[in-house]
A and B are shown apart, each in its own frame.
Chain A
Amino acid sequence: MSERTHPYVNLPTRQFWKHASAGADGLSYDPLASPAFALSPEDRIVTAGSCFAQHVARHLTRNGYNHLITEPAHPLASAEIALRHNYGVFAARYGNIYTARQLLQLLQRAYGIFTPAENAWNARDATALIDPFRPAVQPGGYVDLAELEQDRAQHFEAVRAAVEGLDVFVFTLGLTEAWVDRRDGAVFPLAPGVAGGSYDPERHASVNFGVEETAADLAASLAFIRERNPGVRAVITVSPVPLNATFEDRDVWVSTTLSKAVLRLAAEAVVAADPLSLYFPSYEIITHPAVRGRYFAEDARQVLPEGVAHVMSVFERHLLPQRPVGPDPAPLPPRINVEQRAHDLLETCCDEEMIERAEDGE
């Protein structure tokens, strides 16, 4: 009897569903075989993207990796206050970046290449102004336009520092749907009217980016960064978090599957053409059928910490094989406690003055 022969003979087991490494429950699933590159503990990592990117960023920071932060809070702010105002979440205080077009425009805005017509929105309660391009980044908003613009200038400086200082860019693609300004195509991370501003159909339009647009925007973003910082490596992921809402006239889950498919195809196209990029399968780890949805919270949308831990364990195993040694090499600037010195000195002064006054018989 002749030996069976067909194209699948002798392929690695991971290429067969029956033998793949997901196991019965998917909890040890590791789809990454031999990534194009790994990171060293010294590599300065910048993260950006949708909500899921925050999980990645937090893990890198907590575990002492060189998560580059170029826009830390002023030392006056405690860690809790800094976090509330989104300092240190990502490299700079850009908030969530949901689409590749938003990423490209952030880069262009930071370098003065693009200045959107929309400059500021009124907060919903009209007591403050908010930045249309990072509307949720600062609870309480800005007191006036001058403050908003100065903070934005500071922010752009930090974005430039991140672009020029990073070694590895980890970007999580989140959405294809977005709201744009009809006048100049400026992309808003949230629809006007949601966190501020007001929706005007004459000025604001819904868009749903396709594969080619998304791939082109992502490739252009990476090219933009490498023009200023050659050799930057990129890790591209797709967020597993379903859409919160769709503006398309169809069910939100149907929109979600289309969106994730578009993002996955765009990521594949970019990575295939770029030897300095790799695709990291966060989406696949969380949504693997063997996991049976256990990595999603009760709302069937948010990813549970166990899911994030699984993703990051695979990320570390393959991309960060060397654990960092010692303290976090990318700390916030040292907290120089001038306040404590001031407090102590004022206490001393005041007590001494009271003693002097008492001696003067006052």
Chain B
Amino acid sequence: MRTLVVGFSHVVALESALGRHPDASIRVVNLRHLSLQQLREENSGWHEPDFVVFSPGGNHHNVLSLFEHDVPYTLGAAAPGDERRLVPQAVFHDVLQAALEPSKIRLKTWARLFEGIPQALLASPAPVVLSDTQWDALIKRRDPTLRRAPETLRVRVYQMQEAVMVEMAKEFCLRYIPSPPETMTADGMLDALYAQGDPTHANGNYGRIILQQLRALQQELETPP
């Protein structure tokens, strides 16, 4: 059983895990470095895997909620006295759907490209908690006007993005691989143990757990119904 994982920045966590714990049954292709055409031209057979997992980009939740908006907003009822503007979730759903449209187009293309092969969509990791030091180093020194958005908002936006991704997976008949619950804090953020140290990405520890999930799925696919 050969599993091919295709994606962009979020697959780096898997590459990192594979670097430490090689697994010949799983190959990760970061499209920033290798195109699917180049993969085909390798003649390695990896362009025709037994199982393919897509990570088409899922950073929109961070774009929409890592920083406080100029018109601070809330999804769901705000706390009493909170002056945030309510954005109804039906409206925000459409905002996310529009933001994820390029990912959807990409996913559609890939799904066609690997037609006939079992396919899955991989969730992006939960929102990263940045320490004050990280915030100053990564954000403040680049743009001191940006402020942190509340973590409750970030988690809600992430969950809503997940919901839109699940809709996309259903539309293209893909399995959905959610972010592993053990990598999250009780509040729904990415546990520091699994954070890369930048504002959005998970690390090799996270990648290792995803690889375990992929192996479990491989076994499931190999087991006759």
Select one of B19, B78, B196 contacting A353, CB under 8 A: B196
Q: Tell me which residues across on chain B come within 8 A of A350, comparing CB atoms.
A: 9, 198-201
Q: Select B63's contact among A75, A339, A353, beta carbons within 8 Å.
A: A339
Question: For residue B87, which residue of chain A has the nearest CB?
Answer: A74
A342 CA to B19 CA in the complex, in Å? 31
With the chains together, A339 CA to B16 CA distance in Å?
29
Check if A343 is an interface residue, CB within 8 A of chain B. Answer: yes
Contact call B16/A142, Cβ cutoff below 8 A = no
- Cα distance, A183 to B201, chains bound together (Å): 56
Scoring B residues 129 to 147 as 1 if CB is less than 8 Å from chain A, else 0, what string do you get?
0000000001100110010
In the assembled complex, the CB of A2 is this many whole angstroms from the nearest CB of chain B, namely 76
Pair A147/B77 contact, Cβ less than 8 Å:
yes
B88 close to A147 (CB less than 8 A): yes
Among listed B92-100, B107-115, B183-191, B217-225, interface-contacting one: B92-100
Q: A74-B73, A140-B93, A338-B70 are in contact. Are A345 and B85 (CB under 8 A)?
A: no
**Chain A's nearest CB lies how many Å from the CB of B8?**
10
Render B57-91 as a binary contact track against A, CB cut-off 8 A, 1 for contact: 00100111011111101001110000001111111
List, in ascending order, chain B residues with CB within 8 A of A78's CB: 95, 98
User: With a CB–CB cut-off of 8 A, which chain A residues contact B4?
Assistant: none
A43 to chain B, nearest CB (A): 27
Q: Is the CB of A349 within 8 A of B198?
A: yes
* B197 CB-CB contact with A under 8 Å: yes
User: Quick check: B66 and A342 within 8 Å, CB to CB?
Assistant: yes
Q: Is A21 an interface residue (CB 8 A)?
A: no
Q: Chain A residues near B93 (CB, 8 Å)?
A: 140
User: What is the total number of residues of chain B having a CB less than 8 Å from a CB of chain A?
Assistant: 41
Instruction: State how many angstroms separate the Cβ of A161 from the closest Cβ of chain B.
Output: 14
A65 to B146, CA, bound (A): 35
B3 CB, nearest partner CB in chain A, Å:
23
Q: B202 within 8 Å of A by Cβ?
A: no
Asked if B123 is at the interface of the complex by the 8 Å CB criterion, the answer is: no
Q: Which of B9, B77, B91, B199 contacts A74, CB < 8 Å?
A: B91
Task: Given the known inter-chain contacts A76-B95, A146-B76, please indicate yes or no for A141 contacting B63, CB distance below 8 A.
Answer: no
Select one of A142, A333, A343, A345 contacting B146, CB under 8 A: A345
Q: For the complex, is A139 an interface residue (Cβ under 8 Å from B)?
A: yes
A74, A76, A147, A154, most chain B CB atoms within 10 A? A76
Question: Contact: A77 with B91, CB < 8 Å?
Answer: yes
Interface size on A, residues (CB 8 A): 40
Contact residues, A299-347 vs B (CB, 8 A): 333, 336, 338-339, 341-343, 345-346
Q: Which of A76, A141, A154 contacts B69 (CB 8 A)?
A: A76
* B165 touches A (CB below 8 Å): no
Query: Which residues of A (239-269) have their CB < 8 Å from a CB of B?
Result: none
Instruction: Kindly list chain A residues whose C-beta atoms are within 8 Å of the C-beta of B69.
Output: 75-76, 336, 338
User: Which B residues are CB-close (under 8 A) to A348?
Assistant: 142
Interface residues of A in 134-152 (CB under 8 A from B): 138-144, 146-147, 149-151
CB pair A81 B91 closer than 8 Å: yes
Min C-beta distance of B125 to chain A, whole Å: 13
Q: Which residue of A lies closest to B198 (CB)?
A: A353
Please measure, in the bound complex, the distance between the C-alpha atom of A196 and the C-alpha atom of B197, giving whole angstroms: 48
Residues in B whose Cβ lies below 8 Å from that of A195: none
For B73, what are the chain A residues with a Cβ–Cβ distance below 8 Å? Answer: 74, 76
Does the CB pair A154–B91 fall under 8 Å? Answer: no
Quick one: given A76-B73, A345-B146, are A151 and B88 in contact (CB under 8 Å)?
yes
**A298 at interface by CB-CB < 8 Å:** no
B12 at interface, CB cutoff 8 A:
yes
A339 touches B64 (CB 8 A): yes
Chain A 129-172 near chain B by CB (<8 Å), digits 1 or 0: 00000000011111110110111001000000000000000000
Complex Cα distance A76/B71, Å? 9
The answer on a CB contact under 8 Å between B85 and A154 is yes
Contact with A along B1-40 (1 / 0, CB 8 A): 0000000010010001001000000000000000000000
CB pair B87–A76 under 8 Å, yes or no, is: yes
Report the 9 A-B pairs with minimum CB-CB distance, sorted nearest first: A140-B90, A146-B77, A353-B198, A336-B70, A81-B94, A74-B87, A150-B77, A342-B63, A343-B63
| 29 interchain pairs, CB-CB under 8 A | A74-B91, A76-B92, A77-B91, A77-B94, A77-B95, A78-B95, A78-B98, A81-B98, A85-B94, A140-B90, A142-B89, A147-B77, A147-B89, A150-B78, A154-B85, A154-B86, A338-B67, A338-B68, A338-B70, A341-B143, A342-B62, A342-B67, A346-B59, A346-B66, A346-B199, A348-B142, A349-B139, A353-B196, A353-B201
Identify 8 new A-B residue pairs, CB closer than 8 A, beyond the known A80-B98, A341-B143, A342-B64: A85-B90, A140-B93, A141-B90, A147-B86, A346-B63, A346-B66, A350-B199, A350-B201
| Residues in chain A within 8 A of chain B (CB atoms) | 73-78, 80-81, 84-85, 128, 138-144, 146-147, 149-151, 154, 333, 336, 338-339, 341-343, 345-346, 348-350, 353-354, 357, 362
